[in-house]
Structure 1
Amino acid sequence: MEQQTLVVVGAVVIRDGRVLAAQRADPPTLRGRWEFPGGKVDPGESSADAVVRECEEELGVTVRALHRIGGDASFPAPGRSHTRPAVLRLWRVELLDGEPEALEHLSLRWLTADDLRTLAWLPADVPFLDQIAPLLAPGTATHP
């Protein structure tokens, strides 16, 4: 039986020239690594709806999905006895309400463009760093 590709979304939350990074708590093999907050897309759910839901669940905030950043980044998704193909889709989101809290992560950190490469990112997030850095420049608009 062919394994269906797992789609994971990540949120690029930018405020005052800084982007939000989240430090993984689980699973133990990824504990302490950094990522853009998000999670799995549920069956029948769009990736835009998933990123909004995940921000509410993981950060306790209300966001609006604006646009995708880059293409799909492929990575192996660990399973119980195997790995299946997975893709990460990053979404630029607008923070509408609330202050992000680490509800499911060890910690959160707001990063400048200069800070981006100082963290131990998950491999799937790394390809997006060069695309995010220009968005952190002073005077960069919220919309594309």
Structure 2
Amino acid sequence: MVSAAGLIDRDGRLLMCTRPAPKDWAGMWEFPGGKVEAGERPADALVRELKEELGVETVDTCLAPFSFSLDPNQSLILLLFLCRKWSGTPTPQEGQKIKWVLPKDVLDLDMPPLDRPLAAQVRDYLLP
């Protein structure tokens, strides 16, 4: 299980990150987040991952469960939470690139298969 965040800034943009090498899909754009460890709640894992990957702090009550994507071949579930409140400026901590993307442009990014349907859902949710 993997928890990811759709961080949404005051201008309605989404923060997207590249996957660092040597991970699968390296260089592709994804929602920030990471694996849920044994005994960890998905929201707690995401709070931890956002601090480790981007140096930002939030709390589980600022994470709104939004959707999920499932890869039956790898038995992987990607849970997406939306988040509009955090402290700190997102800064790559693990060699990844980051950028803020308008919802209308998010599907122009090269993304792993599990992120793409979630990006489409977030785009549709955020667009007027």
Same fold by TM-score greater than 0.5: yes
Sort the Cα spacing of 1:122 and 1:84 in 2 relative to 1 into closer, same or farther, 3 A: closer
Deviation per CA, 1:89-140, whole angstroms, max 9, x where unpaired? Answer: 00112332100011124210101022111110111111112221144347xx
For residues 76 and 24 of structure 2, the distance between their equivalents in structure 1, rounded to whole angstroms, comes to 17
Equivalent position to 1:61, from 56, 65, 68: 56
Unaligned runs of 5+ in 2: none
Q: Match for residue 105 of structure 2?
A: 115
- Aligned residues: percent identity? 38
What is the distance in 2 between the residues matched to 1:13 and 1:61?
11
When normalised by structure 2's length, the TM-score is 0.87
Contact 1:68 1:91 in 2 (8 A): yes
Distance, in Å, in 2 between the alignment partners of 1:60 and 1:28 is: 20
> Which residue is 1:38 aligned to?
33
Deviates more, 1:31-40 or 1:98-107: 98-107
Aligned residues: 125
CA contact (8 A) 1:69 1:131 kept: no
Whether 2:12 is the aligned partner of 1:22: answer: no
Using the alignment, how far apart are the partners of 2:79 and 2:92 within structure 1? Answer: 21
Is residue 73 from structure 1 mapped to residue 63 from structure 2 by the alignment?
Answer: no
Aligned equivalents of 1:42 and 1:100: distance in 2?
23
Matched, 1:10 2:7: no
Structure 1: gaps spanning 5 or more residues: 1-6, 77-82, 139-144
Deviating more after overlay: 113-122 vs 21-30: 21-30
Aligned letter for 1:64? Answer: V
- SS of alignment partner, residue 122 of structure 1: coil
**Contact 2:65 2:82 (8 Å CA) reproduced:** yes
Q: Which position in structure 2 is the counterpart of 1:51?
A: 46
Measured on the aligned residues, the alpha-carbon RMSD in Å equals 1.9
Alpha carbons 1:18, 1:136 under 8 Å: kept:
no
